[in-house]
Amino acid sequence: MHLTIGWLYGSKMNIYGDRGNVLALARRARWRGIEATVREIGLGEPIPPGVDVFFFGGGQDQEQIAVARDLQGAKGEALKTAVEEGAALLAVCGGYQLLGHEYRPHAGEPLPGIGLFDLVTVAGPERFIGNVVVDSDWGELVGFENHSGLTTLGPGVPPLGRVRVGRGNNGRDGTEGAVYRHAIGCYLHGSLLPKNPALTDWLIAAGLGRRAGPATLSPLDDSIERAAHASAVARAARARG
């Protein structure tokens, strides 16, 4: 078996240690004897065929504008088609916002997204910063949010989960993230996947399964991951609970 990971704008959208998500996908595949390849998809480069799991991280203002422009047109359409055909995807923070319809800054033109998720993000007056604990269909998730964008989900878009600690999509409705088919968007840094291995394995299985039918992954010893998860939840409860 082979897992192809497509890292969208890896050298531009790489703040807040989101690289850990790509490491987690690749390592957890390889630990099971599944070959894993990471392909960076940069500015001006087309979406390659055969990607099983995409990762799209956050960037700074300048990078984000260039990336938004790059995704308009054929490239964004190709990414949407890949997700329609079953590819898995994780987008965090800036990447999450650019996969919605648009991002409206305090001043200036809105930044267009590609509408893969039915959601809109508006610049807010306050920055949400801190540990987050989310109850989700993938179990308890823990990460770190750092955003001022307020994201509102369209009707019928399921969130990734409900925030137990932290602010989430917009600080009002208790939701965090969004799910569409095998695509997940959220505000969770941390890195997210290394300490939430059930979510990582779901993305791997979903990505592999789109070609060969449902994949079953052999279990791994996750004691180190579980300890990291538990300590992050404990810190979250202490600081913001």
Partner 1 sequence: MGAVSAARPDLRLGAAVAAAKLTALGIRRLGRGGGTSAPGLVAERLDPGLLTKLARRLPRGAVVVAGTNGKTTTSRMLADILAADGCRPVHNRSGSNLVRGVTAAFAAHATLLGDPGGDVGVFEADEAAFPEVVRRLQPCAVLLNNLFRDQLDRYGELDTVARKWRAALTTLPTATAVVVNADDPGLAELTRDLAARVVPFGLAASDYRLTALPHAADAATCRRCGHDLAYDALYVSHLGAWRCPGCGAARPPLVVAGRDIRLDGVEALRVTVELNDAGRALELTVGVPGLYNVYNVVAAVAAAHTLGVPDATIVRALGAFRAAFGRIERVAVRNRTLTLALVKNPVGCNEVLRMLTLATAGLTVPTLIAINDLDADGRDVSWLWDVDFELLADGSAPLFTTGLRGADMANRLKYAGIPTARIHPLPCDLGPALDAFVASIPEGGTGYVLPTYTAMLRLRRILADRGAVETFWKQ
From 2, 93, 101, 186, active-site residue? 93
- Catalytic residue status for 189: yes
Residues 180, 157 contacting (CB under 8 angstroms)? yes
CB closer to partner 1 out of 14 and 152: 14
Q: Is 186 a known active-site residue?
A: no
Q: What six digits make up the tokens of 45?
A: 């480069």
Torsion of CA 95, 96, 100, 102, to 10 degrees: -60
Per CB under 8 A, 15 contacts partner 1: yes
Q: How many angstroms separate the CA atoms of 154 and 109, rounded?
A: 22
Query: Which stretch in 56-64, 78-86, 105-113, 152-160 sits in contact with partner 1 by CB under 8 A?
Result: 56-64
Q: Does 235 bind partner 1 (CB under 8 A)?
A: yes
Supply the Cα-derived Rg of the chain in whole angstroms. Answer: 17
Nearest to 116 by CA among 185, 209, 18, 206: 185
Helices assigned H by DSSP within 31-114: 61-71, 74-84, 94-98
Per-residue binding letters, 184-213, with partner 1 (x by CB under 8 A)? -----xxx--xx------------------
The DSSP 8-state label assigned to residue 139 in this structure reads E
Edge-to-edge order in the sheet of strand 178-180: 35-41, 2-8, 53-56, 88-92, 183-186, 178-180
Binding of residue 23 to partner 1 (CB under 8 A): yes
Site string for partner 1, 150-189 (x = CB under 8 A): ---------------------------------------x
Query: Considering only residues 63, 70, 176, 201, which one is a binding residue for partner 1 as defined by CB under 8 A?
Result: 63
Residue selected from 131, 136, 169, 175 as contacting partner 1 according to rule CB under 8 A: 131
Give residues in contact with partner 1 (CB under 8 A).
11-12, 14-20, 23-24, 27, 60-63, 66, 127, 129-131, 144, 146, 189-191, 194-195, 221, 224-225, 227-228, 230-232, 235, 239
| Catalytic center residues | 93, 189
